Amino acid sequence: MAATPELSTLISDPAAFAGAAARMHAADVAAALADLHPPASGRILAALPFDVAVDILDDPELNDRASIIGSLDTGTAASLVDAMSADQQAALFRDLPEPDRARLLPALSRPAQDALTFLLRYRPDQAGGIMTTEFMGVPPTWTVEETLRLIQSVGGAKETVYEIYVVEPANSHLRHVVSLRELVISDRNKLVTEIGSPGKPVTVDPATDREVVARLISKYDLLALPVVDQAGRILGIVTVDDVIDVMVAEETEDVQKFGGLEALDKPYTEVGFGAMMRKRAGWLTALFIGEMFTATAMGRFEHEIERALVLALFIPLIISSGGNSGAQATSLIIRALALREVTLRDWWKVAARELPSGLALGVILGAVGAGRILLWQYLGWYDYGEHYRLIALTLGLALIGVVAFGSVTGAMLPFVLKRLGFDPASASAPFVATLVDVTGIVIYFTVAALVLRGTVL
Amino acid sequence: MAATPELSTLISDPAAFAGAAARMHAADVAAALADLHPPASGRILAALPFDVAVDILDDPELNDRASIIGSLDTGTAASLVDAMSADQQAALFRDLPEPDRARLLPALSRPAQDALTFLLRYRPDQAGGIMTTEFMGVPPTWTVEETLRLIQSVGGAKETVYEIYVVEPANSHLRHVVSLRELVISDRNKLVTEIGSPGKPVTVDPATDREVVARLISKYDLLALPVVDQAGRILGIVTVDDVIDVMVAEETEDVQKFGGLEALDKPYTEVGFGAMMRKRAGWLTALFIGEMFTATAMGRFEHEIERALVLALFIPLIISSGGNSGAQATSLIIRALALREVTLRDWWKVAARELPSGLALGVILGAVGAGRILLWQYLGWYDYGEHYRLIALTLGLALIGVVAFGSVTGAMLPFVLKRLGFDPASASAPFVATLVDVTGIVIYFTVAALVLRGTVL
């Protein structure tokens, strides 16, 4: 999102910018700051009213937050960070270079230091790494009235007040969850344990994968999901807005993996040349080495190519058809697995479905391919020799075999990866194409040997 | 998600199942019903307490909801549908076959009929198609106290009470938005217009793409986004839980498009053989026809292949390397465009970045490829002839050219599609590979002509 015009014209004047920014939504100011150097953004934040600056820093869409904080003096930085929400403090600290961390951490308030040290124990792809410790907890002995009064007095400072957690004071055990909606519509004299849905609250443990967290929030339409430890003690909550950010990040990761590279973890424009090389060269080289077997396979059929050079013309067409049908099947199964439409034990059902699909698709492509040879011959655009009908038959039959093999291989690859404990989303289009190319060559020349023996070969 | 064990054992006994289901979360019951035939699910829903059955029907994760409703008698179906939320009624009606629609619509209550007719005017990929008309609106003259009292009395029936919309009674204009949190923490005697953030509420019009709706909800951390018409009248709201469902659907669509097929719009397991063929055969055939130019290109270089058959061995390796580097670049740029990290006018910055990246990656692959030829020759595994060093040089230089060309083409394709008004996510890995394959062959043989002229060629 581009900066609004008024803001863009003000960025040369921090004080004027700050004045305009104070009246805007934090997310819009964060977007406007994206065009500035971090120290310039830092000066603007320092000139803003304190609460406005904190809101902007709390927005995960603020570009290069770590450098902005790093450009401020320790006192200013610490007071701003202290006021940020706990989960965003943790996200910021993960991005801060070690010297800035060492300088900032001791300057924070004691509770912020403790919360940070606790949250940084978890990885950012785990529930513990995206949760916040600022939830609203009340003891089971409280009434609706007491709870509403607490929200009224401290609710402005909490990450969310839309879910209230009923916690045993003695051992921090999570007993029950009530929503603010349920509180507001209930009799004020009831106990909090008497309202809301009965039954155990949906919870996760801190090591749960963030994708599972997103799925649970989506499935149960939650505004926040509590994170509890083995003993049932509540540690924090993951809120729906953080889950949306997670979903966007996961989709980016999946698309990049499917494109055949390591996930970048940063915006494209912020990744340096060296880092970009590392993310891309690894997979590209691995695929290249796998693809080298095509040269070996081609070498095996050198004799056939020499006798019927015309066969060589269709090799790119053959192998790309296998790769394309494989990429289709892989993308279908990656999503079907991610959405739990199919599970590991359904692999044979999928194979039993992809084989006829692949054969039918192969018949279509085979007919087009064979038709092209016949047409070119009749029109005199190319001379495939006296046995052109057999060449057309070879191409058609080979395409049926290659496309069917590509579809089944492409569909099975995500299952195999999942079974071996890898992310099925690592089954990239280039990965499938590489798997299918060598086999495509073997299928093609085998069909050619059968059809053309005694005539061309 | 599999059914919980207890439920699975009960599915043969609708009454027992209904008893167990009444104590469970609606989403879990919906998941358990996935294994049943629609009429069996219908019998169970009819046996459940009415409110429980409505909650289950309101869950978009309930498989094949339209067939379940279709299996019930009109009276039962109409009373259940009448109690569903307006946006889910619309989603259900979009899936219902025409005879069921015609039978059910007149049996619904008058307000439900009007709301449905209104909502069905919009496409499901537009804000109007995913909004609900059940929002909480109050006039600007109301106080916090009055608003809270209204929520207390009718809040249970509304889709969300966490955002309250201040609407002019005379003309339905949206004036202001306050959150339930702001209401609860504010002085009860203030006017609703005096609390909450000042400034214009974030809104969309009903034709806004659902992806834009998702981005705004994510950017501004909203729990609901109001939909207003040109005149500023509020028509409905899109809630955060519906946006999460939209994000999941959009990701599925994007992954399938990137795999080179039309988006399925239904779970993999629910798409019939014919529909699956149509979704896949179109793109596959189009790509195949594009790929046919490789046969034409190869025909042009038949003479070179005849004189140096060894060149043919590396054609699959050359073209797959171009396709793989292109797929990497395309996946990077599709996401960067989707996340607004780059915009259309940044195309030359991206090109200026991908060219050196592609050259560097090409040097890596070129070195590996040339090294492989030299190694095989030294080890005596294959004889590339007396000019094997020149063959290695040809392969190395051609790979640099092909990988650089693949990276730049792959990066530019999403820009070109976007500029032409198509979804940049249609730039699939197979699409890029097809574009790059013909050029790869031309680059390879051109390099070969330059390096090998006078020796091998």
pLDDT digits (tens, 9 = 90+) for A51-69: 889 989 988 878 889 999 9
Q: Quick one: DSSP state of residue A266? A: S
How far is the CA of B332 from the CAs of A259, B278, B281, B435, in angstroms? Answer: 8, 29, 26, 17
Which tens digit of pLDDT belongs to each residue from A71-123? 999 999 999 999 998 889 998 999 899 999 999 999 999 999 999 999 999 99
Task: Look at the domain B292-452 and name its fold.
Answer: Tetracycline Repressor; domain 2 (1.10.357)
Distance CA A302, CA B117 (A): 68
B392, pLDDT greater than 70: yes
Residue at token pair 């049908």:
A325
Q: How far does B29 lie from chain A, in Å, by closest CA?
A: 11
Of A25 and B139, the one with more pLDDT: B139
Of residues A251, A292, A369, nearest to B317 (C-beta): A292
The average confidence (pLDDT) of chain A is 88
A156, pLDDT greater than 80: no
Residues of B in contact with A313 (CB under 8 A): 295, 298-299, 302
B3, pLDDT greater than 70: no
Q: How far does B395 lie from chain A, in Å, by closest CA?
A: 12
| pLDDT score of B169 | 93
Distance CA A438, CA A294 (A): 5
Distance between start and end Cα atoms, chain A = 62
Of B21 and A315, the one with more pLDDT: A315
What are the tokens at B121? 């005017």
Distance CA A306, CA A313 (A): 12
Nearest residue of B to residue A335, measured between CA atoms: B252
B217 contacts A244? CB cut-off 8 A: yes
Of residues B23, B240, B268, nearest to A332 (C-beta): B268
Distance CA B213, CA B204 (A): 7
A236: β partners: A227
B269 contacts A223? CB cut-off 8 A: no
CATH superfamily of A274-452: SLC41 divalent cation transporters, integral membrane domain (1.10.357.20)
What are the tokens at B130? 């995913």
Q: Does A283 touch chain B (CB under 8 A)?
A: yes
B203, pLDDT greater than 80: yes
Distance CA A361, CA A407 (A): 9
| pLDDT score of B397 | 96
Of A22 and A361, the one with more pLDDT: A361
Please choose, from the candidates A211, A220, A362, A31, the residue with its C-alpha nearest in 3D space to the C-alpha of residue A41.
A31
Cβ atoms within 10 Å of A137's Cβ, excluding its own: 17
Distance CA B111, CA B125 (A): 24
Residues of B in contact with A269 (CB under 8 A): 336, 341-342
Nearest residue of A to residue B25, measured between CA atoms: A220
B415, pLDDT greater than 60: yes
A131, pLDDT greater than 60: yes
The average confidence (pLDDT) of chain B is 88
Q: Rounded to the nearest 5 degrees, what angle is found at the Cα of B405, between the Cα atoms of A298 and B312?
A: 15
The domain A136-253: what is its CATH number?
A: 3.10.580.10
Distance CA A335, CA B267 (A): 9
Cβ burial A105-117 (10 Å sphere, 16+ → b, else e): beebeeebbebbe
For residue B234, which phi and psi values (nearest 5 degrees)? -80, 130
In chain A, the percentage of residues whose pLDDT exceeds 90 is 51
Look at residue B137 and give its three-state secondary structure. strand
Residues of A in contact with B27 (CB under 8 A): 219-221
Cβ burial A198-230 (10 Å sphere, 16+ → b, else e): eeebbbbebebebbebbbbbbbbbbbbbbbbee
Which tens digit of pLDDT belongs to each residue from A323-347? 999 999 999 999 888 888 889 999 9
Residues belonging to chain A: 457
Cβ A242 vs Cβ A87: under 8 Å: yes
B369 contacts A288? CB cut-off 8 A: yes
| pLDDT score of A9 | 59
Residue at token pair 């167990």:
B20
Burial class (CB in 10 A: 0-12, 13-18, 19+), A171: exposed
Residue at token pair 């709390």:
A58
Residue at token pair 């060449």:
A391
Cβ burial B165-175 (10 Å sphere, 16+ → b, else e): bbbbeeeeebb
Of A2 and B257, the one with more pLDDT: B257
B225: β partners: B238
Cβ B64 vs Cβ B270: under 8 Å: yes
Domain locations along chain B: 5-120, 136-246, 292-452
H-type alpha helices, A120-209: 127-130, 144-154, 180-185
Average pLDDT of the residues in A186-202: 90
For residue A362, which phi and psi values (nearest 5 degrees)? -65, -40
A315 contacts B298? CB cut-off 8 A: yes
Please choose, from the candidates B51, B33, B32, the residue with its C-alpha nearest in 3D space to the C-alpha of residue B42.
B33
**Mutual angle of helices A240-258 and B210-219, in 10-degree steps:** 130
Strands A163-167 and A174-179, bridge-based pairing: antiparallel
Average pLDDT of the residues in B121-148: 92
Please choose, from the candidates B146, B388, B186, the residue with its C-alpha nearest in 3D space to the C-alpha of residue B396.
B388
B9, pLDDT greater than 70: no
B289 contacts A368? CB cut-off 8 A: yes
Q: How far does A233 lie from chain B, in Å, by closest CA?
A: 22
In B188-281 the beta strands, taken as DSSP E runs, fall at 224-228, 234-239
Q: How far does A226 lie from chain B, in Å, by closest CA?
A: 16
Q: Rounded to the nearest 5 degrees, what angle is found at the Cα of B109, between the Cα atoms of B103 and B113?
A: 70
Average pLDDT of the residues in B176-204: 91
A246, pLDDT greater than 90: no
B5-120: CATH class: mainly alpha
Q: Does A347 touch chain B (CB under 8 A)?
A: no
Average pLDDT of the residues in B364-373: 94
Please choose, from the candidates A243, A281, A288, the residue with its C-alpha nearest in 3D space to the C-alpha of residue A261.
A281
For residue A124, which phi and psi values (nearest 5 degrees)? -70, -10
Residues belonging to chain B: 457
> Which secondary-structure segment (H or E) carries A165?
strand A163-167
| pLDDT score of A6 | 53
The domain A5-119: what is its CATH number?
A: 1.25.60
Give every CB contact of residue A128 below 8 A, 6+ residues apart in sequence: A119, A121, A122, A206, A207, A227, A235, A236
| pLDDT score of A5 | 45
B31-35, B278-282, B370-374, range with greatest mean pLDDT: B370-374
Distance CA A211, CA A424 (A): 13
How far is the CA of B441 from the CAs of B109, B274, B319, B366, B409, in angstroms? Answer: 66, 36, 7, 16, 15
Of residues B302, B313, B335, nearest to A295 (C-beta): B313
| pLDDT score of B6 | 53
Residues of A in contact with B319 (CB under 8 A): 316, 319-320
Question: How would residue B49 be classed by pLDDT, with cut points 50, 70 and 90?
Answer: confident
Q: How far does A298 lie from chain B, in Å, by closest CA?
A: 5
| pLDDT score of B102 | 92
Of residues A218, A241, A309, nearest to B248 (C-beta): A218
Of residues A219, A254, A357, nearest to B276 (C-beta): A357
B328 contacts A430? CB cut-off 8 A: yes
Q: Rounded to the nearest 5 degrees, what angle is found at the Cα of B177, between the Cα atoms of B173 and B179?
A: 155
The domain B136-246: what is its CATH number?
A: 3.10.580.10
Nearest residue of A to residue B145, measured between CA atoms: A184
CB contact residues (below 8 A), chain A span 368-407, against chain B: 368-369, 372, 382, 403
Q: Does A61 touch chain B (CB under 8 A)?
A: yes
| pLDDT score of B2 | 40
Question: How would residue A320 be classed by pLDDT, with cut points 50, 70 and 90?
Answer: very high
Which tens digit of pLDDT belongs to each residue from B287-299? 999 898 998 899 8
Q: Does B306 touch chain A (CB under 8 A)?
A: yes
A289 contacts B368? CB cut-off 8 A: yes
Distance CA A308, CA A298 (A): 13
| pLDDT score of A59 | 87
Burial class (CB in 10 A: 0-12, 13-18, 19+), A255: buried
User: What sign results for the dihedral spanned by CA atoms A302, A306, A307, A308?
Assistant: positive
A415, pLDDT greater than 50: yes
A7, pLDDT greater than 70: no
Average pLDDT of the residues in A424-446: 90
**Mutual angle of helices A110-119 and A86-95, in 10-degree steps:** 70
A234, pLDDT greater than 50: yes
Question: How would residue A363 be classed by pLDDT, with cut points 50, 70 and 90?
Answer: very high
Residues of A in contact with B252 (CB under 8 A): 335, 339
| pLDDT score of A1 | 37
Average pLDDT of the residues in B204-211: 91
Average pLDDT of the residues in A166-172: 94
Q: How far does A249 lie from chain B, in Å, by closest CA?
A: 10
Q: How far does B295 lie from chain A, in Å, by closest CA?
A: 5
Range in A305-309, A424-428, B10-14 the model is least confident about:
B10-14
Q: How far does B301 lie from chain A, in Å, by closest CA?
A: 9
> Which secondary-structure segment (H or E) carries B5?
helix B5-10
Question: How would residue A2 be classed by pLDDT, with cut points 50, 70 and 90?
Answer: very low
Range in A344-353, A389-398, B151-160, B337-346 the model is least confident about:
B151-160
A185 contacts B151? CB cut-off 8 A: yes
Nearest residue of A to residue B356, measured between CA atoms: A273
Of residues A153, A323, A334, nearest to B430 (C-beta): A323
